[in-house]
Structure 1
Amino acid sequence: MTTTGPLQILIGVDEPMVSSLLADCPGVEIISHETLGTADTDETDPGRNTQKIAATLDALDPDCLLVTGPDSLDVAVVEAVRARGIPVVAYTDAAIDRLTTCEHISGYVRRDDGGADDRRRLLDELAWVTSQETRQQLRDSTDQVTMLHDATAELVGAETPEELYQSTVDVAANVLDFDTCYVGIVDGEYIVPKAVSTGTPDSGVRRMRIDEGLAGKTYQTKTSQLVHHIEEDSDAKPAQPSYRSGISVPIGSHGVFQAVSTHPDAFDERDQQLAELLIGHVAEILTRLRAESVVQTRQTKITRLHEGAMDLVAARSRAELFERTVIVAKTILDFDRTYIFAASGGEFVPVAKSAPPDAVDVGRLPLDYGAVGKTYRTGESRLTPDIHADADADPVGDIYGSGISVRIDDVGVFQAAARDTRQFDETDLELAELLISHVTATLKRIEAESGLRDERDRLSALFENIPDAAVTFEFDDDRPVVQRVNTMFEYVFGYPADEIVGANIDEYVVPPANDAEATTFNEKLQQGTSLRTSVRRQTATGVRDFLLHVVPVHLDQTNTGGYAIYTDVTERRERERELRRQNERLDEFASIVSHDLRNPLTVATGYLGLVQETVDDPNLEPIDDALDQMGRLIDDLLTLARKGQVVGETTTVDLQTATMDAWSHVETNDVELVVSLSEGSTVDADYNRLVDLLQNLFRNAVEHGSTSNRTNRTESGDAVEHGSTADDDPETAKTTTVRVENTADGFAVEDDGPGIPAADRESVFETGYSTSTDGTGFGLAIVRRIAEAHDWEVTVDTGSEGGARFEFSV
């Protein structure tokens, strides 16, 4: 192979583009031969192909073989080229990684636009690989590539990123002869040295911002940098002023590898290519390790989170839950700065935090404030790698660089923050959401339990403070077993709780004579029927009467227990029995009055009538009036005794009909009735008793306002309670009017007579009260008794014309 004269470049006939690129270049002779292609190969006789190719190469004796791809040469050509030590240059757009396994490739030029710059770089590479010095370097380079491939196994075996970093600088130093090199990994806003070659002083490397110096440029552009003279490179900011040249290679998106030297031009493109080859493997391995680490860390944290959830579940209040949440976030998720904001009263209130002393003291915030407000409004979790670049973020302090926001149901928002940017990733957000899902579930449980506790406390307080004896019980077969009694039960029945709880209540409180009744009650209760009945039970002071109200736990279905309340009605029953006895005596009295008094009165009235038929004596008229008054008195006594407080079945009564019926049974003289009732006015009443009530009111009005001479009337009614002030002179007397009308809650009866003085308005309803010499004093008393029997309220006032007005609220 000659080394003088023009460079003889052998090119296959199927690569005309390369021929045209180097055509007319001084010092270059293009040799084209079809044997180097694959079209003339004989697949049936590989040996013949090898011999043919070898003969061609020996005849042409080229300085270099130029190809356009790593796979453009036949295996036979590769073997022949390697056997003769002919360098091969690849001019291709394939990445250098594809050439790392092609040991026959000696040089590499990346194809760009096929223009002048490509030709210049290609000529430089051809001149370099064909020089005698380069031949030796290529042999060394080939050895280095081989050693790099061997070292890859060691790199692949790294179990942790830290182990990989150290192995990388060791390989760079031992295989690539890089004296000073380091691996820098991005951590937030900085590229932090993780491994440094042996012998490098502490000041030889330093932490740099991701946009600082040659390392920052390499990381930002993801492009390798070859610097022959550091002092002439405006981007370079060496850690040591003695550094004169260097190489900077990106480790994927993870960081930067750098090698430096105290000599200028210490590195060339071959060093750069070898470094890229090494770091390409490192980047792939680091990506795998990190992915495995993320999966392992995530799984570990998920496992620990589930364990931490047990701690959350133990919380008994919202405040305790929130405090436990920030502790779990710190100890398990490694979130140093966490906050929980509760939405309350139109603002966010910080209710829990876990933060170092330098953390910002966050106070109350509006509901629309920054990322926390948007998270709460939308319900969407937020991952903010760079808080200052996020338009929605509005940090309370400027010390935070990144953060996470997760909504806690309708309660509030959980936030985690870090000083540097990019401190959280999707895995952190996922774990935070998992944590908050546990918090949300626990919150619902706490709220439910709190409601149940409040309800239980209210029921317990109600049970204990019931003024009657109360007991809860459960059925054991057919036996009602006591579960709890209140204080009043202990007092009434005389059994302390610790004695009767767990016992059959019937054996303690049911008298023997009522055993069958109690058994029937128990059967009904077990069938889901509530009871409200009168019973007799054995107490500490003897057998007493009770109103028993028993409610099963579930109505209309098979029950296991219930609640019973014993209301002592013994005194009421005694009063009822006494009242019955009084009513019996009163009825007996009424019978006596009706028979023993009315008969002599009837005899006297009859004989007086006979005398008046034969004798015209004015002295007989007072006797007639007295007998008439005695008759009215007997009638009113009978009314009070038999009807005063007794009301029969009530129905819906038309008020106008009852009014006209009552008016028709009263001697009204010249008194006028005005009915001002609206059509269809009704009341719920005993019809006959309502008519009695109206009759007494009408008689009272007639007696007050009658224009007739009172001494000349024969039957004027017997409900006059006050002396008449009516003028006895017919020429000066006026007609009295009685009006019946509706009120807001009932009806009223009023007249335009003299009225009732305010001082007498309460007394007029008293039995026997009358200001008239011929009044019985019972009429208005009967009115009140009938009203009270209907549960109506009656009041007396002054009418619109100055007379008496009686209003009934029904």
Structure 2
Amino acid sequence: MTTATATQRPRTVLYVADAEAAASDGAGALEGVEAGPERSVHAVTAVDRVRNWAPEADCVVFAETPTTAAGASLLEVIEGCGSTPVILFTEPSFAPTAARSTDGIDGYVRRDTDDAVAHLADEIEWVCRETGDAVSADRAASTPGPAERFLESVPEVAACRDRDRLFERLVETAADALDCETCWLSTVHFGEFTPRATALGVSDDDLEPISRDGVLDETLRTGETLRIDEIDSDDRLTAPLDGVTSLCCVPVGDIGLLQVAAEEAAAFDDRDCDSLAAWCRVAAAVLERIDADASHRTAREQLQRERDRLRTDRDRLASERDELAAERDRLADERDRFRALFATIPEPAVRYEIDDGRVLVRDSNDAFDEVFGTAPEGVGGEEPVAPGLEHRRAALLESLRAGERCQLDSRRETVDGVREFLLTLVPVDAGASDGGASDAHTPEGLLVYSDVTETSRREREVAAAEARLETIETLVDEEMRTPLNVARGYLELAAETGAAEHFAEVDDAQERLRELVDRLVSIVRRDDVLVETEPVAIHDVARRAWVTVETGDARLVTHTADDRVLEADKARLRELFEQLLGTMIDTAERSDCGTKSGDETPAETAVVTVGATDDGFYVARRDAEPDAAAADGRIETEPDSDQLTAADGTGFGLETVERIADAHGWTVGVAADDGRIAVAFRSVDASDGH
């Protein structure tokens, strides 16, 4: 192939500096000077590269001050340049006289002037004309070939940062260096050599993908250059384009083949093939760097994303840590405030905690010890036995787990006697409850004992007063009105007739009125308020009342198995049983009087049974044969709740019984049929015990 002469090609200049940045910046500035012929300036930092490239260059610029450490390699550079002229581009500290006295320096330019680079360009032209044009012409004439052109394009190829640009520059430089426009690059794609980049002399439509087999595949695998001087007479390969006679194929690493074709036979010699192979090796190295850079860039981006993610996680964890610390501090402050409140609360109180599903009493305040005379049993880690909780552990634990405030009524023994208390359960943080799913939401709380004895007493007094007023209202409205009407009627008759018997009726009516007035006074003065209550067994009270009542042949039946202990005023409860048992016996006697006929039928014996129900107790009477007790030692009657009616207006004389039951907060119902009567008391609370 032909090669351009020295006057036809750009000046080739090596710009030598100790640092890569200084070399690149200086080469770029020099190449950008518009004055003079076109220049191709290459940045060089190593002496070895100067030795390799200087023979192909027109001039070498040494851009360091020889008296500095960076300029200490001046003599080695001069030696490596051989016959290529050297221009010293230096600081003024190295004077021109010193430069002229140094063998091998052909020119000198100071770097500290405003137009230093332009002066350097003029100096290069003057030196080249005086000492270098003949050498360059002789070099061009004696060494024709593309090597210097490939060398000039190395920096540009090395600067490529993507594959497509590299492929384009690879083909363009090969076509220009070999002065052949029929040049293209084919890369391996799905088992075929597919055209990837073409020179100006080749159209993309002219080339077709070629199967990866035969001599082209062998060329790619072995890395050897394939040269065909006469393609028509070579059966290894068919012509890829019309008019192609000779062909040179060079592998580019393992990605494909660079192919150059010519119409004339034997258009490529060994030097062309060697230059093209060296050029492809440069391209392969640059391609490896691009791929490595891409891989590194991808890895770097992944690392950056991972770093960003870790930073985000770190910031999130730090934020959560700060929130947890703030929450911990808040809870600590809340706990301190809570315990300070617990210590100063004026009412008796115990502090509890939940541990592994157990409610543990941890402490009691001074007021608790003063009121009850002792600390609660179990303080320090056992299940609580604080007063009022002995029979209510399940309900207590359920409320604690739910984180809900609840209240319980209890009557307890204190240093001042039996008192009534309202127990208030106060979790530390009721708002944190999750419906009882976790004990951790209510780890601590208070149980406060509020003395409501006086309040309850006043409530009972008010209730009793209201009951008395209702009774007075009934007596006045229903029983006093009739005698008054009778007296008024007979007085009118007496006034009309003057008959003395009418005055007798008036006198009887007045007597009944006096009796009613006495009842009203008794009711008004009656005290139905329970002064003191205590645990009482109903069977014991029933048996004590039985001995005070005229019972005749009637029998009392009680069973130990269904005895019941309840909170009641013992004296008033005994009065209730005396009244009720007397009523039961009187009812039985009246029934006997109505059913007996001489001595023909033996008199029946009344059996009175006292027993407990789920929510109270009952007193029942039934009639039995005289020998029935021997046949059935467990005669008892429990009233059917469906048969119960209110005690008012039953005709059994249960006003006193109902009044005492009302004072205790109980309800009374009566059921009766042939030969049987039962009175049931409901809504009766069991005793809490001691």
TM-score range, shorter chain: 0.3 to 0.5
Which of these two proteins has the greater Rg computed from alpha carbons? 2
**Higher RCO, 1 or 2 (CA under 8 Å, sep at least 6)?**
2
TM-score w.r.t. structure 1 length?
Answer: 0.32
